[in-house]
Amino acid sequence: MAITIILGSQWGDEGKGKLTDILAPEAKLCARAAGGHNAGHSIVMNFIGSGVVFNVPQFFKELEALSEKGLEAVHDRIRVSDRVHIDLQLHIAADGLEEQELGEGKIGTTGRGIGPSYSCKAARSGIRLADVFNPKLFEQKLRRLADGYRKRYGDLFKYDVEEELAQFEEYREKLRKYSVDGVSFMKTAQKSNTPILIEGANALMLDLDYGSYPLTKQYVTSSNTSLAGIIGGLTLDPTKITDIIGVVKAYTTRVGSGAFKTEDLGEVGTKLQEIGREWGTSTGRRRRCGWLDLVVLKYSNDINNYTALNLTKLDVLDTFETIRVATAYKIDGKEIESYPADLDILDQCEVVYKDFPGWQTPTTNAKSFEELPKEARAYVEFIEEYVGVKVKYIGTGPDREAMIKRA
């Protein structure tokens, strides 16, 4: 395994956690490089890297839940980089207010303070785990942040700085056990050729640099969700990376606002949503649905350089008579070469579709690629040919065992 990285190739919710769960037994170290505690699955990481924003109350809540299940050893198996930025109650209080400011352009945040935490990090005003162990510095930084938000929001900012200071008095000594020098920790693991499994947060199309990023509204997440973000967040040696697996749904979904060229607001979108149970596990929000967009997937691959793909939820398409995939965008009758940065141009694009006959038979019992209906195999093979990357894993149902692995 050496270093295996699992990345979302669309707008998130592709099913990365299931593949992580399947591959985890082969790893000695599982890690997360970026993001926060808004992921809605149950994989517990062994190392939380420097690019993450770290919510301390949630961390202890999850540890307690594991302890109650008899997994006491987890306390000796989880470490946190001392360079992580802290996701504070202060940030959570600010999150809802920032959403209100955006009005119709709201992001669709989970409301857990992750965006404001990354904003503070970028503004060089954030608080890192190392700061928590310096009580005087921690208090100074926290009060300065609270004052800044009060000046911005006035009485709308409902936050008690004294309460949060008191909480961290309690957390401080408890946290010491888990805090490590993240750079040294990862360097040691890589030098000893420890098998490392990394699951990226969110997905490429939500990346701060390469996702949908207009000038007036925010449709991306607050961190770097690309391969580059993983390497930086965990100080990885790129020469030791063996597998970069892009996870892609057999159709497309998106949460919240933003460009979505293949979105279907009619019967197809509703059917995909209902069969695929497309609502968030951590938020309950319904996802927008549409056909697979290969323009997006190819763009994602151009950035992340996948060595393999995991196509998920193929079974959701089992009852469709016709299945469509987007193969190009056109403006004034001419195809454009890549996913455009200018979202005004994107809005003007016409989507070019290729239609496939549906297989209209269950795929959930298929144990191998050869057992899939020939129409389903043709669909998978077209994706491979278009993107230029082998589909190594195919998800055919919600169960852990419903995953075809191809040689």
314 labelled ligand-binding: yes
Asked if residue 13 belongs to a known ligand binding site, the reply is: yes
Q: Is 225 annotated as a binding residue?
A: no
Is 40 annotated as belonging to a binding site? yes
> In the annotation, is 13 catalytic?
yes
Active-site pick, 41, 106, 271, 354: 41
105 annotated to bind ligand: no
Consult the annotation and say whether 281 binds a ligand. yes
313 is in an annotated binding site: yes
Q: Is 284 known as a binding-site position?
A: yes
Q: Does 221 carry a binding-site annotation? A: yes
CA dihedral of 73, 76, 82, 86, whole degrees rounded to 10: 20
Amino acid at 360: Q
282 carries a ligand binding annotation: yes
What does each C-alpha distance from 174 to 13, 58, 90, 171, 269 come to in angstroms?
Answer: 33, 14, 21, 5, 48
Q: Is 286 annotated as a binding residue?
A: yes
Is 363 annotated in some ligand binding site? no
Active-site option among 85, 91, 121, 141: 121
- Examine the residue annotation and report whether 121 is marked as an active-site residue of this protein: yes
Q: Is 124 annotated as ligand-binding?
A: yes
Which residue out of 13, 95, 264, 293 is catalytically annotated? 13
How long, in residues, is the chain? 407
Q: Known catalytic residue: 332?
A: no
Does the annotation flag 334 for ligand binding? no
Binding-site entries for substrate: 281-287
* Binding-site sequence positions for IMP: 13-16, 38-41, 110, 124, 202, 221, 285
Which residues are documented as binding site? 12-18, 38-42, 110, 124, 202, 221, 281-287, 313-315, 395-397
Catalytic residues: 13, 41, 121
Summarize the annotated binding site for Mg(2+) as residue ranges: 13, 40
Known binding-site positions for GTP = 12-18, 40-42, 287, 313-315, 395-397
